[in-house]
Amino acid sequence: MIEFSSQNDFVLDNEERVTKWLKGIALKESYGIDLLGYVFCSDDFLLDINKKFLNHDTLTDIVTFDYTENKILNGEIYISTDRVAENAEQFEVSFNTELLRVISHGLLHMCGYGDKTNKEKNIMRAKEDECLILWNT
Protein backbone atom coordinates (compact mmCIF):
# COMPACT_ATOMS: atom_id res chain seq x y z
CA MET A 1 0.00 0.00 0.00
CA ILE A 2 1.18 3.52 -0.78
CA GLU A 3 -0.26 6.41 1.21
CA PHE A 4 0.10 10.15 0.68
CA SER A 5 -0.52 12.83 3.31
CA SER A 6 0.43 16.44 3.91
CA GLN A 7 1.58 18.45 6.90
CA ASN A 8 1.04 21.63 4.87
CA ASP A 9 -1.54 22.69 2.29
CA PHE A 10 -0.01 20.66 -0.57
CA VAL A 11 -2.33 18.30 -2.43
CA LEU A 12 -0.82 15.64 -4.71
CA ASP A 13 -2.49 15.46 -8.10
CA ASN A 14 -2.95 12.09 -9.79
CA GLU A 15 -2.46 9.96 -6.66
CA GLU A 16 -3.65 6.88 -8.52
CA ARG A 17 -1.20 7.42 -11.38
CA VAL A 18 1.68 8.15 -8.98
CA THR A 19 0.87 4.95 -7.05
CA LYS A 20 0.87 2.87 -10.24
CA TRP A 21 4.15 4.52 -11.34
CA LEU A 22 5.85 3.80 -7.98
CA LYS A 23 4.70 0.17 -8.10
CA GLY A 24 6.21 -0.06 -11.59
CA ILE A 25 9.53 1.35 -10.38
CA ALA A 26 9.62 -1.10 -7.47
CA LEU A 27 8.84 -4.01 -9.80
CA LYS A 28 11.57 -2.90 -12.23
CA GLU A 29 14.01 -2.96 -9.30
CA SER A 30 12.70 -6.42 -8.23
CA TYR A 31 11.06 -5.15 -5.04
CA GLY A 32 7.57 -5.54 -3.66
CA ILE A 33 5.77 -2.95 -1.56
CA ASP A 34 4.34 -3.48 1.90
CA LEU A 35 3.74 0.10 3.06
CA LEU A 36 5.17 3.37 1.79
CA GLY A 37 4.05 6.56 3.46
CA TYR A 38 4.80 9.79 1.64
CA VAL A 39 4.38 12.93 3.74
CA PHE A 40 4.55 16.32 2.07
CA CYS A 41 5.61 19.11 4.40
CA SER A 42 7.29 22.51 4.82
CA ASP A 43 10.98 23.28 5.16
CA ASP A 44 10.51 23.92 8.88
CA PHE A 45 8.76 20.60 9.47
CA LEU A 46 11.45 18.64 7.62
CA LEU A 47 14.27 20.61 9.27
CA ASP A 48 12.87 19.59 12.64
CA ILE A 49 12.88 15.91 11.57
CA ASN A 50 16.40 16.29 10.17
CA LYS A 51 17.65 17.72 13.49
CA LYS A 52 15.73 15.34 15.74
CA PHE A 53 16.44 12.04 14.00
CA LEU A 54 19.57 12.61 11.90
CA ASN A 55 21.39 15.33 13.87
CA HIS A 56 21.60 17.43 10.68
CA ASP A 57 20.90 21.16 10.99
CA THR A 58 20.36 21.73 7.27
CA LEU A 59 17.47 22.13 4.90
CA THR A 60 16.83 19.18 2.61
CA ASP A 61 14.20 18.15 0.10
CA ILE A 62 13.75 14.60 1.41
CA VAL A 63 14.28 12.39 4.44
CA THR A 64 13.68 8.66 4.09
CA PHE A 65 13.12 6.24 6.95
CA ASP A 66 13.74 2.82 5.46
CA TYR A 67 12.40 -0.32 7.14
CA THR A 68 12.74 -2.53 4.05
CA GLU A 69 13.41 -6.23 4.57
CA ASN A 70 13.79 -9.08 2.10
CA LYS A 71 13.12 -6.93 -1.00
CA ILE A 72 9.79 -5.73 0.42
CA LEU A 73 9.70 -1.92 0.64
CA ASN A 74 8.46 -0.47 3.89
CA GLY A 75 9.09 3.04 5.13
CA GLU A 76 8.27 6.71 5.47
CA ILE A 77 9.37 9.41 3.06
CA TYR A 78 9.13 13.09 4.02
CA ILE A 79 9.34 15.65 1.22
CA SER A 80 9.61 19.41 1.63
CA THR A 81 7.46 21.01 -1.05
CA ASP A 82 9.27 24.30 -0.28
CA ARG A 83 12.61 22.71 -1.29
CA VAL A 84 11.05 21.05 -4.33
CA ALA A 85 9.73 24.43 -5.52
CA GLU A 86 13.09 26.15 -4.97
CA ASN A 87 15.03 23.32 -6.64
CA ALA A 88 12.67 23.31 -9.62
CA GLU A 89 13.39 26.99 -10.13
CA GLN A 90 17.14 26.50 -9.68
CA PHE A 91 17.29 23.54 -12.10
CA GLU A 92 14.84 25.20 -14.53
CA VAL A 93 12.33 22.36 -14.54
CA SER A 94 8.65 22.30 -13.66
CA PHE A 95 7.56 21.79 -10.07
CA ASN A 96 5.88 18.52 -11.11
CA THR A 97 9.06 17.18 -12.76
CA GLU A 98 11.15 17.97 -9.69
CA LEU A 99 8.48 16.51 -7.40
CA LEU A 100 8.43 13.25 -9.36
CA ARG A 101 12.24 13.13 -9.26
CA VAL A 102 12.22 13.49 -5.46
CA ILE A 103 9.36 11.01 -5.00
CA SER A 104 11.29 8.41 -7.01
CA HIS A 105 14.55 9.33 -5.21
CA GLY A 106 13.09 8.19 -1.88
CA LEU A 107 11.94 4.87 -3.32
CA LEU A 108 15.32 4.35 -5.00
CA HIS A 109 17.08 4.91 -1.66
CA MET A 110 14.95 2.13 -0.24
CA CYS A 111 16.01 -0.09 -3.16
CA GLY A 112 19.62 0.32 -2.06
CA TYR A 113 20.83 3.26 -4.14
CA GLY A 114 22.97 5.81 -2.33
CA ASP A 115 24.01 9.36 -3.08
CA LYS A 116 27.01 10.06 -0.85
CA THR A 117 29.83 9.69 -3.40
CA ASN A 118 30.02 11.18 -6.89
CA LYS A 119 29.71 7.70 -8.38
CA GLU A 120 26.58 6.99 -6.30
CA LYS A 121 25.13 10.39 -7.22
CA ASN A 122 25.63 9.69 -10.92
CA ILE A 123 23.95 6.29 -10.65
CA MET A 124 21.09 7.79 -8.61
CA ARG A 125 20.56 10.58 -11.16
CA ALA A 126 20.50 8.05 -14.02
CA LYS A 127 17.93 5.96 -12.11
CA GLU A 128 15.81 9.07 -11.44
CA ASP A 129 15.95 9.87 -15.16
CA GLU A 130 14.78 6.32 -15.94
CA CYS A 131 11.88 6.83 -13.53
CA LEU A 132 10.90 10.09 -15.24
CA ILE A 133 10.97 8.34 -18.62
CA LEU A 134 8.73 5.62 -17.16
CA TRP A 135 6.32 8.37 -15.99
CA ASN A 136 6.13 9.78 -19.51
CA THR A 137 5.46 6.47 -21.27
Annotated binding site for Zn(2+): 105, 109, 115
Backbone torsion region of residue 71, taken as left when φ is above 0, otherwise alpha when ψ lies between -120 and 50, otherwise beta = left
Identity of the residue numbered 133: I
Quote the CA–CA distance of 56 and 15 in Å, as a whole number: 31
Quote the CA–CA distance of 32 and 72 in Å, as a whole number: 5
Q: Residue 113 — φ and ψ, nearest 5°?
A: -85, 135
Quote the CA–CA distance of 86 and 15 in Å, as a whole number: 23
Q: How many residues in total does the chain contain?
A: 137
Give the bridge partners for 38, in sequence order.
4, 77
Annotated binding site: 105, 109, 115
